[in-house]
Structure 1
Amino acid sequence: MTKFLRLGPVGSEIPAVETADGVVHDLRPLTTDIDGAFLRDDGLRAARDAASGLPVLDGAAGLRVGAPIARPGAVLCIGQNYAAHAAESGNGAPTVPILFFKHPNTVVGPFDDIHVPPRAAKVDWEVELGVVIGRRARYLESVDDALDHVAGYVVSHDVSERTWQKDESGGQWSKGKIAETFNPVGPYLVPADEVDPQNLRLWSTVNGEARQDSSTADMVFSVAFLVWHLSQYGVLDPGDLVNTGTPEGVAMSGRFPYLAAGDVVELGVEGLGVMRQTLVPAPR
């Protein structure tokens, strides 16, 4: 499996690729970053083909792991895309995809802290399969064409503040979704042709205790359908991130306490790695 990463301090991440032998190579001879321009030019395929000839990135194991895509132009999110999660939220399975947006500055690295905002009292976790767009998807004619527009897949954590989402958003959800650090992503990006997006286990724990454990096979709407569907309403650009929904097992179900500063959340998607975040008070 090929793993694309961005390593180093916030704002100075180095693009890198880890080959199947576990060696991390420096991508800077090919690109300045793993961003929309790189993905649009079929950069993942070219970099994978050239990876063994790229220089080894010395000290890679000691570097911070950033989000594997540079700041996306858009973060599009699908709500209640697992029937059991819709049920625990008090709703039936949707008949059309529910769409909401997150601010791009919600995206942080897979091991970065989550900042708990002032007034936040119901912070919730959501493990999701993240889809990274590689080719512009504009009014696609067929669902069968959709996956050709996907660059790859990541683990994505759609953090929520449920009071703000449900009671203070005026029927929309975004106020409960857009706080800084509310979307850790990573630890790496895996090319689309190495992943079956509808056959992946995904799970989460809080302080070591199991919370979510499901499969992307249980999605109400598949990845291909979601990309096609979204393209009927707007244009998806290379580097955009699509969060595809979360399975049951969140705090909003009433079965678990909400998160607080000091809690540790771990999340994983089969073949795409594991993330770990600690909740801390937001800096003033």
Structure 2
Amino acid sequence: MKFVRFGESGKEKPGVVDDQGKIRDLSGLVTDITGDALGGKLSESLKHVDISTLPLAPEGARLGPCIAQVGNFIAVGLNYADHATETNAQIPKEPILFNKARSCIVGPYDDVVLPPNSTKSDWEVEIAFVISKRASYVSEDEALDHVGGYFICNDVSEREYQLEREGQWVKGKCCPTFGPIGPWVVTPDEVGNPQDLSLWLEVNGERLQNSTTRNMIFPIRTLVSYISQYMILEPGDIVTTGTPPGVGLGMVPLRFLKRGDTMKLGVEKLGIQEQRVI
């Protein structure tokens, strides 16, 4: 199933996408779309509900971030070998982990705001997932049992802040609006194999990223298991898994986002995002 949150920022309601692609209001059945709700078998309980009888969301309603009550926002760096190569970085022997701030999360069609004095803001299409069951020291064999759903993340990054300032990558990863997620979170049964999905990104209609999750160095089951060796993953934690080649940092000459640009990006089975840069 595809779960969504709609409405003005801070007042989103939970919804589900019906067979005709229309959004149905779930607020009479569930408080919100959270990791706990997904772990509570929300989709199983809805199998006994005629979704077509639920109220429709208002036409043209804004789509908010697809997950509410996010805990940790964990990201994986350089998880595609050809992306590492294009940015002159070593191919990692273990997953590179960093954090994005929860405060950077926005909806899939919200504007992306360039930080003051930014000159090197960049795009990154990624597949992300939400934890729905507590994970601590889990094996790869059981890792995917802890995933409640998958969605798109645009890991927007300010490269000067990330790479040219002292300290860790988080400086370039946490600016407000730098974490669009959605449009919806898709349950694992509908996604199938998360390591066999195409993903792409366009800037102003030009396709710059075009790859497949088959090319990830560390697949999602490995990431869940690996991260759980260093921290407890709780329901509501989200993980974005790295980007393929085609980012502005890897281009010759370098190319970065500017006011008025439009980013459009998609992951197979997970929908499409679009953001205007302001």
TM-score interval, normalised by the smaller of the two chains: over 0.9
Q: Give the structure 2 partner of residue 198 of structure 1.
A: 195
1:98-247 counterparts in 2 under 5 A? 98-140=96-138, 142-170=139-167, 172-195=168-191, 196-247=193-244
What's the CA shift for 1:261? 1.1
* TM, length-normalised to structure 2: 0.95
Report the equivalent of 2:246: 249
Query: How far apart in 1 are the matches of 2:45 and 2:211?
Result: 34
Change (3 A) 1:53 1:128: closer
- Superposed CA deviations along residues 84-141 of structure 1, whole A, max 9, x for unmatched, are 000011123210000000000111100000011102110000000011111111111x
Q: Structure 1, residues 214-235: CA drift from partner, whole Å, max 9, x if none?
A: 0000000000000010001001
Letter in 1 for 2:133: R
Q: Is the 8 A contact 1:81 1:219 kept in 2?
A: yes
Q: Distance in 1 between matches of 2:187 and 2:176?
A: 27
Structure 1 gap ranges (5+): none
**Greater alpha carbon shift after TM alignment, 74-83 vs 21-30:** 21-30
| Cα displacement (A) at 1:194 | 1.4
- Is the CA contact (8 Å cut-off) linking 2:23 and 2:57 kept in structure 1? no
Task: Quote how far apart the aligned CAs of 1:17 are.
Answer: 0.6
The code of the aligned residue for 1:74 comes to N
Amino acid aligned to 2:16? V
Q: Aligned-pair distance for 1:210?
A: 1.1
**Once the 2 structures are TM-superposed, how far is the Cα of residue 37 of structure 1 from its aligned partner?**
3.0
Give distance in 2, aligned partners of 1:111 and 1:221. Answer: 29
Q: Which range moves more in the overlay, 50-59 or 71-80? A: 50-59
CA distance in 2, matches of 1:153, 1:164: 29
Residue 193 of structure 1: CA displacement? 1.6
How far off its partner does 1:25 sit? 2.2
How far apart are the structure 1 equivalents of 2:146 and 2:123?
28
| Secondary structure, counterpart of 2:180 in structure 1 | strand
Secondary structure in structure 2 of the residue aligned to 1:61: coil
Contact kept, 8 Å, 1:44 with 1:151, in 2: the verdict is no
Give unmatched runs, 5+ long, in structure 2.
Answer: none
Aligned residue for 2:4?
A: 5
3-state secondary structure, aligned to 1:271: coil
Aligned equivalents of 2:166, 2:172: Cα separation in 1: 7
> Which amino acid is the alignment partner of residue 38 of structure 2?
L
Greater alpha carbon shift after TM alignment, 61-70 vs 252-261: 252-261
Residue aligned with 2:129, SS: strand
CA distance in 2, matches of 1:101, 1:279: 23
Alignment of 1:30-109 (within 5 A): 30-47=29-46, 49-53=47-51, 55-109=53-107
**C-alpha distance in 2, partners of 1:161/1:95?**
25
The TM-score normalised by the length of structure 1 is 0.93
Letter in structure 1 aligned against 2:10: G
User: Percent identical across equivalent pairs?
Assistant: 45
Quote the offset at 1:51 in angstroms. 4.2
* Separation (CA, whole Å) in 1 of partners of 2:211 and 2:65: 24
**Mapped contact 2:106–2:179 kept (Cα < 8 A):** yes
Secondary structure of the residue that 1:116 maps to in structure 2?
Answer: coil
SS at match of 1:45: helix
Cα pair 1:25 1:51 within 8 Å, conserved: no
